[in-house]
Structure 1
């Protein structure tokens, strides 16, 4: 893999800030072995906090000792607190076992802790995409990636999806405008990036099947493009065994994977991480150095305190409980739809995540229905056009989220939607 051709001119020009390298040396030194007179880090004795007590929902007390608190209130490496980075690498090896070993210093893979996966995606897109570039993005798409890509002035090529993930026929049809040989030409406009949500897609709830992932990966090898694997719902898959990730099959080093703790630990702590080829993660770290500097250190220390208390088995047990929580809610909303909407809508039962994607029958565009009539009726959904690159295109779809509403209200909300659709069909028939 020659990564230079994927990088923007700005990203190629980025290099390590020298003072940041001094900070990394200081952080990795054995305590007491180094007199640090180099960096401009503030003295923690001037900070007003010294320790904290955390209590789990089960009442267990977790202490942040003065040593931990001092680390949490201090600058850290732009790549992330060293212990958090190592914990993330071990998690990736345990869950995905990438073909390229990134745990060794000679490995081809690396990891950077970010302020949630959204920051990782934004900085990665800025690293790889510039105005005029052709970019492959699955549709319907997570609105966050559209908010990143559209202002960049790139050409969004929408890859259609079905209940198994990105449609190979759609991907092939788009790429038929180029020859695989064009990928070796630095001046070619062949797409170099494909963004996809791997599990529990927002908005469709679809997890891409293993067979479909293998097909997409082979096409990526054929046309030499990178796969941006956004996977915040990996730990909320309702199948007995999680579908293997793109990272798990990445023999070339062409996958950049985005993980997030937002759905399983805390959304507000803003902890996520990007895993991918070392040369690209290095450029991401350089971007962190001149922007946010690093993800919130105190959040990283709190996460570490929880994760170390749990251990690997505790982490797996927690994510299993989270999965069962959302599985129950998925079942509630699907049962409600079976009861009230079978004559008014079509949907695929989600196999992961927090969302149900529905096509409303007899409705050309759901925007007015959602933002006016449904809102007046006391229920709120997301209109389908919010998940397409061209939000002026009419969409008969809506996204329902079953994550927040009280269980007893989910059925009420679906009943209200059914009543509205019944009335809409009456009006249409009368016209």
Structure 2
């Protein structure tokens, strides 16, 4: 990709409220103490003494038969306050991991911060960027957790239509040009400052954006000064022959904030993710963390750091491969069941990763009541597509089905009952139409 040089004014992406944040001195001293010489003496931190903690040791036994212990200073760190950015050894481990996986350009201008999963990083980033009444670019359909973050800001969600390769570049340009034409100094038709995108095994569609499409989207964002919020929770759950190229890898300008998570590949309950982005923006998010929950779980961070060191890079990737194979097999079983029961009633594309199938119901304009009322009577639960649309009030004939957890035999039964439900709904709609005519 051609090298693009552009100096970005990051203050443009920090709203008035976030711009007022200032460091907490005690938190800054905690960070400093972690890097201080051993002989230094500090009476600054208001920390409890570790000798008062009742836990003496933890033995972590893994399914591969190996184990490791948390004791001494390592355990104490897991039970104690740590810097808001994260447990320093884990920060270095994650930086090394990110460099090896994504090889981002301009690495010296970036930083990372540990978050309580991807959702926490996305939330704090949007709360830093967005002001009430702003316009925000989102893929349509989009991950529903993003819409609930934005709702209190009363934003104008600019939904970018997708095809089987993800968001459509021409549609993105069309939306941006429309914003530019309607822009006024008084605030009318505000130009969006950021775009939320879920490019690998997108939730809910299961679509993975190919490299050339990503390059084209990135060039458009450079032209219109758009910050890319790359939510890639399913990056390690793709079902492709080659791992996708991330927007972070393409980011020659420094306009990508990337959200990674271990929820899908290690444990969702650990609530451990990390955000990679331009230093100025990451530092502002750190100030937000200082003023809210101080830092993500110390114990989760120390446990994961020890696990990654115990396994090593190659073993970690083997774990990812194992998880990927598990979900790919479940996807295939689910698609086979859909072929048996839903063929002729629905349309779908084969998910290229993740945990979901995005199903379009034929001859039913809106599936909400069908699923939420009549589906409940059949004791089956699917998510109506409304939950993922930029405008959830519009009629929607899409359904999201998850194949991650339910027993395959029960998935087959659910698809059989869904087929019955759709047929019944189609009969009801025909009768209504006949009565109207």
Shorter-chain TM-score bucket reads over 0.9
Cα offset, 1:184, TM superposition: 12
Partner of 2:95: 89
Per the alignment, residue 277 of structure 1 pairs with 278
In the alignment, the residues of structure 1 paired with residue 54 and residue 324 of structure 2 have an alpha-carbon distance, to the nearest angstrom, of 39
Q: Does 1:3 align with 2:10?
A: yes
For the pair 1:140 / 2:146, whether they are aligned, the reply is no
User: After alignment, is 273-282 or 386-395 more displaced?
Assistant: 386-395
SS in 2 for 1:224: coil
1:363 aligns with 2:400: no
Structure-1 residue corresponding to 2:29? 22
Q: TM-score, normalised to structure 1's length? A: 0.95
Query: What are the ranges of 5 or more consecutive residues in structure 2 without an aligned counterpart?
Result: 1-7
> Are 1:40 and 2:13 matched, yes or no?
no
Residue 26 of structure 1: how far off its partner (Å) = 0.8
- Mapping for residues 96-115 of structure 1, pairs under 5 Å: 96-101=102-107, 107-115=108-116
What SS is found at the alignment partner of 2:237?
coil
Q: Give the C-alpha shift of residue 209 in structure 1.
A: 1.4
Question: Which residue in 2 is equivalent to 1:318?
Answer: 319
Farther off after superposition, 275-284 or 153-162:
153-162
Residue 339, structure 1, aligned to residue 340, structure 2:
yes
Deviations 1:206-249 (A, max 9, x none): 11111111111001011011000000000001001111010000
Equivalent in the alignment of 1:372: 373
> Could you tell me which residue of structure 2 aligns to residue 405 of structure 1?
406
* Cα offsets for 1:276-313 (capped at 9, x unmatched): 00110010111111011110000101111211111000
More displaced, 294-303 or 53-62? 53-62
Q: Quote the offset at 1:202 in angstroms.
A: 0.9
1:5, CA displacement in angstroms? 1.1
List gaps (5 residues or longer) in structure 1.
102-106
Residue correspondence of structure 1 range 12-411 to structure 2 within 5 A: 12-30=19-37, 32-101=38-107, 107-179=108-180, 189-411=190-412
How much has 1:60 moved relative to structure 2? Answer: 2.3
RMSD between aligned residues: 1.8
Give distance in 2, aligned partners of 1:319 and 1:58: 14
Against the structure 1 CA distance between its residues 183 and 36, is the aligned structure 2 distance closer, same or farther, given a 3 Å change threshold?
Answer: farther
TM-score norm. by structure 2 comes to 0.94
